Amino acid sequence: MEVAFLVSQRSSCTHRKVGAVIVKDKRILATGYNQPPSRFPHCDEIGCIRDDLGISSGEHQEVCYGLHAEQNALMQAAKFGIRTDNASIYVTHQPCSVCARLVINAGIKKVIYRNPYPDSLTKLFFEKSKIETFIMG
């Protein structure tokens, strides 16, 4: 979890810095943090579209310049051909329901996070898909 918090410091998000680390057999496979796509201006440079539109946290996750930490970690694994079947993911914050679906389809079996996130659908996805979740205190 400490590595996830360290990775989160790379984020340029003006609201919430999130880090994710995918681990299997006690080895780090990939990391990610919330950030806009490569070569796109960062939110701390151009401002937050969510603020501009008055969108509350946990709502309309698709309206954001940035990708979530879990998305970036999964894309990093895919880009370098790293399998995530039966892996675990450590995330500084509870995944949103969009990321929960990606985590499930990536074959990740365990999600460990520290901070809550206002998306109640995540719990349903993880329960029905038999994904183990742990909240680290």
pTM of the complete model: 0.95
Instruction: Establish whether 59 is a catalytic residue.
Output: no
Identified catalytic residue from 59, 70, 127, 132:
70
Q: Say whether 48 counts as a known binding-site residue.
A: no
Q: What are the pLDDT digits (tens) for 11-45?
A: 999 999 999 999 999 999 999 999 999 999 999 99
Q: Is 90 in contact with 112 (CB distance < 8 Å)?
A: yes
Tokens 């914050």, located at residue: 93
- Tell the CATH superfamily of the 1-135 domain: Cytidine Deaminase, domain 2 (3.40.140.10)
